[in-house]
Amino acid sequence: MTHHHTPRDLAALVVEPSAMQSKLLVAELAKAGIARVEAVHSGGGALTRLRRGGISLVVSAFHLPDMTGAELIGALRADPALADLPFILVSSESRHQLLDPVRQSGASGILPKPFSQAQLEAALRAVLDFLNVDDSLDEAGFDLDALRVMVVDDSPMARKFMRQVLANLGVKRFFEAENGRQAVALLADNAVDLVVTDYNMPEMDGQALIEFIRTQSWQKDVPVLMVTSEDDQGRLAAVRELGVVGMCDKPFEPNTVRALLGRLLRGD
């Protein structure tokens, strides 16, 4: 595996209005190996600091004095100079409708308050997987040049994040669709080796897409990975019954995808 970044290489910006919580976050990041950490107390302060450059990771609370963490990551993704910055949310907020925009924006992790060191380390691994090229599958002798992956998600930011992670693993050939209906049209004329799809999408959701693939497509047996922020277990159970090779939550989990690609390429 080839890593160009380690935690020591990261420069983090903590965005936290509470001085005590900010100090704790800085300490936890230092324990995880990140020595260069700055702190600001507002979203506006974060954007001002980030535009000066030199920061490679944002770790933010959800409730800020001038905006939410969801609005902050939205502002980052809308700014070409900041759009690719890894983002970790740390919050006691649990309402799905508030956290979903963060998940859809390609966050590397959402940590609870308080979080464990293991949870932080897992989020940082996702950050490094987003930043680093991973040659492990190529070094194992797998032919990734021919692998064709379709990414289906109505969020352009989520698609970009997923493509980046897959590209870092060695995938080079992609198709993209904004919803199930677009995916169906593409599948009619293009052979693919893996479909990575969201659940909640307009016009045709992920469940309907998988139902179409399994019952009407000429590619009935194509492996499908569901990556979703959906929390209705009844709906997710129905998706599992349709036959998926895996399900993972948003934020996208690179380790899950790496293991899945290895299984597919081995023919397991």
In the chain, domain spans: 7-131, 136-266
Say what the pLDDT of residue 1 is: 45
Say what the pLDDT of residue 241 is: 79
Residue 78 to residue 100: CA distance in whole angstroms = 17
At residue 195, the 3 state secondary structure works out as strand
Q: Which residues contact 215 (CB under 8 A, 6 or more apart)?
A: none
At residue 115, the 3 state secondary structure works out as coil
The four Cα atoms 206, 210, 212, 215 give a dihedral, to 10 degrees, of -160
Strand-by-strand arrangement of the 87-90 sheet? 36-40, 11-15, 57-60, 87-90, 109-111
**Whether the domain at 7-131 and the domain at 136-266 fall into the same CATH topology:** yes
How many CB atoms neighbour CB 45 within 10 A?
Answer: 17
* Ranges under pLDDT 50 in the chain: 1-3
Provide the whole-model pTM.
0.83
How many CB atoms neighbour CB 37 within 10 A?
Answer: 20
Topology at the third CATH level for domain 7-131: Rossmann fold (3.40.50)
Say what the pLDDT of residue 120 is: 94
Write out 18-77 in H/E/C secondary structure: CHHHHHHHHHHHHHCCCCEEEEECCHHHHHHHHCCCCCCEEEECCECCCCEHHHHHHHHH
Nearest residue to 171 via CA among 150, 204, 149, 197: 149
Separation in Å, CA 89 to CA 19, 96, 122, 124, 242: 17, 14, 13, 12, 33
Say what the pLDDT of residue 242 is: 77
Topology at the third CATH level for domain 136-266: Rossmann fold (3.40.50)
Say what the pLDDT of residue 195 is: 94
Say what the pLDDT of residue 268 is: 65
Q: Which amino acid is at 68?
A: T
What is the sign of the dihedral through the CA atoms of 45, 48, 49 and 50? Answer: positive
